[in-house]
A and B are shown apart, each in its own frame.
Chain A
Amino acid sequence: MTKPRLREAFWLVVVGLIVAVAYGTVYLAQQEVVSAEGLTWGGTFLALLMAAHLVVRRALPLADPWIMPGAGLLTGIGITMTYRIKPSLAGPQTAWFVISLVLLAALVLLVRDHHVLERYKYVIGAGSVLMLALTISPAGKTVNGSQLWIDFGPAQIQPGEFAKLGIVIFLAAYLRENRELLAQRISPKHLGPLVLFWLMSLGLLVLMNDFGTSLLFYGSFLLLVYVATGRAWYPLVGGAAFAAGAAFIYQTSGRIRERVNIWLDPWADAQDTGYQPLQALFAIADGGVFGRGLGQAFVVTPNGATLIPDAQTDFIFAVIADELGFVGAVGLLMCFVVFTWRGFSIAASCRDGFSKLLAFGLSAVLAMQAIVIVGGVVRLLPLTGQTLPFVSYGGSSLLANWLLVGLLLMISHHGAVERQRDLQGARA
């Protein structure tokens, strides 16, 4: 076994133990009976992680060892907290985790090398836009005012999560091809398809009323173009255009106006629109430094509803802050920082532009998503209805993010292989 895989195995075991203990604690608090079921689940979780580990060991032996344990820890905490908030949802989320790992294995074993994606960049880009278009078609469903979902019989998926990946792949590939040109001159011929593509997706998002994902798309676009071309002009003008667009949207969209007003002063309408963010703040304050303890806080009211509406999705961070305290919340944020750091390191160590940009884009979009949703919960920004990657309850989000993990692992492995080859070549 290679050294990275040894490390990974070790940390996966550690993660598995942590998650098992956490789950068991919640189980105890809920059932007040010491039983093996808490441990059974923990064991299953660890087994799943080890199975994924075996696949990676086979196919990508040189990949970065911290990506999977990081994602695994976040997922495990997520399922534990979902179980704590609404036990009936833990089963579906675990099922989605299994599906995610299966698809991860499929991706890794079938695609093998991410450079394949470069060839299909237009297909992937168009496919992403199409997925978004489907939600505003008759097949789409409106939930909470946003048209985010497509019904697939027993399951519902959020195409926005997958479109996110698709757009990053497309941008990375396109920019790699055209970045020298774009860096020297702003040429409509080369900028054209890019902007067109981007406008289409943005327009769809606006039509879908999903401003959170628009923010992420726009942000990843600006960052990727900046890193690829080195021209600060892009993010600066882009930022200005965003401000103008935001002001326009503020004037025209009552919903956005409401969101911004609640952000600035949730007390103004504390019982109605301000209720959710305020209860989240109260939960955070309740946690203090060390938290109330897993399963101990007042999260579920006597009639079964959660105190914070949507506690298991947008506001899961507030529940974590309540039960695990400042220490736990910062720990969780550190997980994201470390994960992002590893993703950027992978990008930095890659030789070819596509790998670099892809690894960078994927890590950046994940970090931005975490910042946007946690920022909304702590009132750094207005709330945007994003999920906290790996942690929030949601099948599409979990699946998309594990595919992201798969991509990062592939990039990491092939990057390391290349470096090894160079070293051997230099020796030869």
Chain B
Amino acid sequence: MKSTMNSRMATVFTGICVAFVGIIGLLTWWQIVVAGELRQKDENNQTAYYEQRVQRGFIETRDGVRVAGRTSAKGANGDTVWQRTYPAGGLAAHVIGYDSRGHSRTGVERAMNDTLTGSTRDLGAVVGLLDGDEEVVGDNVRLTIDARGQRAAEQALAETGAPGGAVVAIEPATGRVLTMASIPTFSPADAVKDFKAVSARPGSLLNRATLAGYPPGSTFKLVTAAAALEGGVSPDRRFEGGATFATPGPDIQNFGGSTAPPHDFTYALTNSVNTSFAELGTELGDAKLREQMRRFGFFSVPPLRGLPRNEMRASGLTGEGGKPLPEGRDFDEARTAIGQERLTVTPLQMALVTAGIANGGRVLEPTLVERITRPAGGIVEQRQEATWKTAISPDTARELGRMMESVVREGSGTAAALEGVSVAGKTGTADFQGRNLTWFVAFAPADAPKVAIAVAIEGRESGQTGGVVAAPIARRVIEALLGRGGAA
């Protein structure tokens, strides 16, 4: 009997070993396999603590204005903990985002978090940390944002009193984002202190510049015109004019029901003649329109360096329920051509379109990051230029540019005219949530473009147009960015 007692004990021992193996298996799971995920969880106070010990890198504008700084405080047990400060108040709030424990982070604070917390250091520095080296100082991020333009944009937006709106300004030759503003806005300092109050204000945390889905209105005529010119339509093309354009659906009318005389292509764009563009759109067909949109970067999320991908969206055609219209589905080319049908675009995308036209047809990869530097100096990363899309030929770009100059000189965009600087632009007005949405896109100086800008303002009473509301804002920002008539 005794020997079988021993064998039974052996069985139990095996069972115990199996249990320990199971425990070690789960331990491996938590400690190695999903450890990274666990560290990212918002409830994780460990991560929060280590992050508090880190001296977060500064975020500064291109012209040296510090928008996110840091200050030290004493933890109760003598540890030094660091907190974010915002020396420039809410300047570029949506760009820098907030860094709040328990509510995670957004904007540059999120996209560049590894850089700002010094986690991208090489192995030597990491080993130094293991040795108990207490000081972890993150790298500093210099943005492409120009503080003068940013201030001008934010002020101008605030003065409209509009329920929503955005401004995006890009340097066409390099892809630098010089200005990105959105209202309603928030204060990052408040977001850290009292997140509930901030998030209670509807829409203030939303970056409309990159996430709003606005109908483009007549600014989309630039895309139609580009498609037409690329497709062989002559810049001297004549249109008959008239008051309506017949479509399978309701007739398309010109703005205010006006009747246009016979005119040329430039006149059509200058005065935003709906019937002529509807005609162009029908001629081109949906395939060509889609193709031109793709070439301008529609249907993809812009590869903007410096913002998290989930804070951006692609622009394009929408179907049921606001979802993207599937390939091959028919859409009304006439209405799309004038920017009225099923189109949702972001201000960033329209700025990219304008930048592409300004830059001889090449759309560069947009970026918010100018350079990354070590705390002690020394450059970690310098902005690189890259072409994102080749939208149109240089000839087409030149033609379009000329037409856009005409818009500002004598068309609907005269409010954007600047003394001593030639501005090329396009106005737009669309229906959005029962009210008007007004647009103005432009680049300046027209002969050697340094700024491409898109302005969108929500919620105007109907009757107010892009030319009246949005164009002056664009002018102010361009002025600021160009240093008042001089070169930037």
Contacts and interface: CB of A to CB of B under 8 A. Distances in A.
Interface of A: 180, 223, 226-228, 230, 267, 270-271, 278-279, 281-289, 293, 296-298, 300-304, 307, 321, 325-326, 329-330, 333, 336-337, 340-341, 344, 347-348, 351, 353, 356-357, 360, 364, 367-368, 371, 374-375, 378-380
Interface string B7-45: 011101100110110111011101110110011010111
Interface majority SS (helix, strand, loop, mixed), chain B: helix
Interface bin, chain B: 35 or more
Contacts of B130: 293
Contacts, number: 134
Contacts of B8: 226-227, 230
B45 A227 contact: no
A378 B26 contact: yes
A375 B27 contact: no
Contact of B9 (A278, A285, A296, A344): A344
Contacts of B26: 378-380
Contacts of A304: 76-77
Nearest to B39: A285
A347 B79 CA distance: 52
A374 B5 contact: no
B50 interface: yes
Interface of B: 1-2, 4-6, 8-10, 12-13, 16-17, 19-20, 22-24, 26-28, 30-32, 34-35, 38-39, 41, 43-47, 49-50, 75-77, 79, 81, 130, 132
B353 to A, nearest CB: 44
A152 B37 CA distance: 47
Contacts of B34: 285
Contacts of B43: 267, 270-271, 278, 282
A288 B24 contact: no
A228 B5 contact: yes
B16 A364 contact: yes
Contact of B31 (A288, A300, A302, A367): A288
Contacts of A270: 43
B64 to A, nearest CB: 35
A329 B130 CA distance: 19
Given A282-B46, A371-B16, A227 B23 contact: no
Contacts of A307: 45-46, 49
Contacts of A223: 12
A359 B31 CA distance: 34
Which of A283, A284, A300 counts the most chain B CB atoms within 10 A? Answer: A284
A30 to B, nearest CB: 11
B23 A302 contact: no
B76 A380 contact: no
B44 A337 contact: no
A297 B132 CA distance: 11
A329 B27 contact: yes
B30 A281 contact: yes
A282 B40 CA distance: 10
A293 B130 CA distance: 8
Contacts of B47: 282, 286
Contact of A326 (B12, B31, B49): B31
A230 B35 CA distance: 44
